[in-house]
Structure formats: C-alpha cells, structure tokens
Amino acid sequence: MLAKQNALFPFLYHEFFMTKQFSIPRGTADIFPSEAGAWQEIEAKARRILADYNYQEIRTPIFEETGLFRRSLGQTSEVVAKQLLELSSSGKEGFSLRPEGTAPVVRAYVENSIDRQESLTKLFYIGPMFRGERPQKGRLRQFHQIGAEVIGPNTGNPYLDAEVIALNVNILKAFGLQGFRLKINTLGSCEDKENFSNGLRQKLAAQRSRLCEDCQKRLEYNVFRILDCKNKECRAVIEHLHADYEHLSQESRDYYGRVKEALNALEIAFDEVPYLVRGLDYYTHTVFEISDTSLGIQDALSAGGRYNNLVSELGGPQADAIGFALGMERVLLAMSSEPKPAASALTAYVIALDENVFPKAFHILNMLRGAGIPSDIDYKISSLKSQMRSAHKAGSRYAVILGEEENKRGVVALKDMATGNQREVGLTELREILKKGKV
C-alpha cells in the first residue's frame, strides 16, 4: 500500500518521511558532554561510599515480566495502575520497562537462590528506570536511580535499618547536599499494616463527602493512596487526621523505637511523619523519604524502606530486606540550586569552639590576614558542625579550628575542606603552610 502511494505521490512521500525531523520522546533527556562530567562524578562518589559499606553491583535487564511489577508494587499502586510502560508483545507473556529496581533485584535473588550462597546480600544498582508519568520539573518518563538493597533471612535488625538510612544520607552529603530533610515512619508488620489501613479507612469514611472523586474510590481499594492526593480539600482532611500508633503491635513499636535509637547514635537527624506510607505496596516496618524543598513539588530526592515479605511473595525463602533509591536527576537539580562558593574563595576559615578561645582565634585570623592570606571567621560561635557549614559556604580551602585543648598547647587543627584530612600544627607552621597553599 505504502509502495503504491509512494509511486503516486513521490514528492509528498519525500516531504513527509525523508525530511521529517525527529524529536526526543517527552519526559526524557539527552545528556550532553557538558553535563556528563557531573553524572560521572556523582556515580563515582556513590560507588566509593557503597564499596565502603560493602555493597556490590548488580545489573539487571531494563525490562521484566509485567507480572513481576504487578505482584511486587501492587495492582493499585499509581506506578502499576497508571505508569507502567508495557512493551507490546506477540507472545503470551507481557513485558514492561522497569519502573524501579527493587523488584528486579529480588527476582534475581530468588531466581539464583542467592540465599543458599550467602547469609546477607548487599547489592547496589545504577541505571535508567521508566514510568509513564506526566512530565514536569523533576518528573521524567526515563530517569536514573542509584539504589541499594540488603536481603537475608533473619536480618531484621534495627541497626541495619539505621545503616541503610545513614548510607543514603552520607551519599547525599558526599554530593555536597545539605539542605535536605529525612522523614521516617513505620508501617509495622503485615498485620499491623492491615490494621493501619482499616483504621484509616474508618477515619476517612466519616469525611467521605469532602474527598475528591478519585479518593472516594481509593477508600475502597487502596486507602493509603489518599495520603498522597494533591487535591486541596483532600489535603485539608488529611492534615487534620489525628495520628496515633495504635495499629502497631508491641513488637513493632519496640523495633521502631530501636531504629530511632540507632539513628540517634549515628547522629542522623530525622523527623517522624506518622502518615508517611510510600506509594509501593511491598513496604513493611520502617519507611523513609529524603526531601529537598529546593526541588519544588517533586521534592523527594530519595526514598526507601523495609520489605520483609517480598522475597517470599516472589517465591523465595522467608527473608528480611531493606533498601532505598535516589533519583539522580533530582540530585543534580538540587546540587545546582545549592549555594556555590564564590569564585574568589578564602584560604582559611577560623573556627573558635567556644567564647574563651575566641580572642586567640581572632588573633590568629589577623595574623593570617597580615601575612596576606585571605581569611575569615565565624563571629557566631555555634557548634563545630554549623561553623564548618559556614566555612564550606564561604568556599574556604581550609578550616583552622581552635578549641580549649589546642589553645592550651599552642596549636590549631588544620582541616583540608576538600579531602577532610586534618592535623595539628603550631602557629608559625600554620602561617607558612597557608602561604604556600599546601598542607
């Protein structure tokens, strides 16, 4: 037919098909050489930290049987119900581009009986994911994740939850991100989760008429999805829900308590958000999300949680598991809105650890300036952490730290801001080192 048309209208055929300019599919992006460096840098940093935590790389196909996602993420999750990009197939079995990495990793774990080879498996992946979303800033149809999963029978240990969250936070910090917020919650065991959903249904059913049409339906088939609804009236209803943890068994409560203790021990700051439930069905117990307001509406940089039943639901042994995935495009967006150090960066940023040593720190500052070394000081004597943040913002190459101990011994701690290396030096040595610009 086409050949016949071609013969009849050679000119038109040429116009339409030979000169057509193709465009990139909506919701995808080309990464040009000018941007590729930033991608490589965050990949390299993440790989280094993941190796420090003993994670090994896994690469799975970018498409899988559609059933894998339906079973793992849940038929009624937004990702499955609305966003799966299915590949048309003439065979019986349908395939879909992977919308996330957890289900494929678990499929590989089960299919290869990895539980028989090792008691705890720590895997990471880096690669493209696909969701048929309505594209907007930070929301793409092809996006990239760096994800990590820990799987093993009898490994439900609150310290592991804290380790995975700390790993996620430390990777973001290594990217230079600072302004993010970690939110955590627990869904409890499968039974607790069922109670949670029933309780929530009861509370929301009492206000059914205030909910949007979609949420009225969600009341029947997946009440948790109502918590993510962006409709103004629904949000007002959700914000006024009284949060309690009555659905949790004592065991789940204790587990959650120990996760929080372990996070405190690791000095990881977090906010508890009792209605954080996450949009994928496989989660149990700890769930978390890391958001950054600089991203606007799509503010989640990263997210994850426990999924202690997924391995057995996919035909494997009873195994506990937890993981997270961060969105690389969102990380790069957040990095681009993070304040950059001025081009004319300082050489030294003097930090006084308390009021008593401030006069000496001030003296050191002026000695350095006198020697022609661009220097500044934090006049607000706050914690070391917050003064280090100021040093970072000022773009200083070095921090010169003075505490009571150093003051007594006539030395300072000299920290290289780029490498984190720190050593003690006397004042004359300090001046000479900074003049040369070398540690």
- Residues in the site for ligand HAM, rule: CB under 6 A? 100-102, 131, 133, 138-140, 143, 145, 147, 149, 300-305, 323-327, 329-330
In the complex, which residue's CB is closest to ligand HAM?
327
Contacts of 93 (CB under 8 A, 6+ apart): 65, 66, 67
Q: Which is nearer to ligand HAM, 162 or 301 (CB)?
A: 301
Q: Which is nearer to ligand HAM, 79 or 391 (CB)?
A: 79
* Single-letter code of the amino acid located at 205: A
Q: Which is nearer to ligand HAM, 140 or 335 (CB)?
A: 140
* Single-letter code of the amino acid located at 418: A
Rounded CA gap, 103 and 117, in Å?
A: 20
Instruction: Single out the residue of 382, 361, 235, 218 nearest to residue 297, CA to CA.
Output: 235
* Least distance to ligand HAM, CB of residue 180, Å: 11
Rounded CA gap, 70 and 353, in Å?
A: 55
Looking at 21-92, which runs of residues are DSSP E strands? 56-57, 63-65, 86-87
Q: Which is nearer to ligand HAM, 133 or 378 (CB)?
A: 133
Query: Do the Cβ atoms of 307 and 282 come closer than 8 Å?
Result: yes
* Least distance to ligand HAM, CB of residue 203, Å: 25
Q: Which is nearer to ligand HAM, 115 or 406 (CB)?
A: 115
* Least distance to ligand HAM, CB of residue 301, Å: 5
- Both structure tokens of 196: 């949670």
> Per residue, what are the HEC states of 330-380?
HHHHHHHHCCCCCCCCCCEEEEECCHHHHHHHHHHHHHHHHCCCCEEECCC
101: number of Cβ within 10 Å: 23
* Least distance to ligand HAM, CB of residue 339, Å: 21
Q: How far is CA 321 from the centre of its chain?
A: 17
Q: Which is nearer to ligand HAM, 69 or 398 (CB)?
A: 69
- Phi, psi (degrees; rounded to nearest 5) at 378: -95, 110
Q: Which is nearer to ligand HAM, 229 or 411 (CB)?
A: 229
* Least distance to ligand HAM, CB of residue 171, Å: 12
Query: Beta strand pairing status for 142-152 and 63-65?
Result: unpaired
* Single-letter code of the amino acid located at 412: V
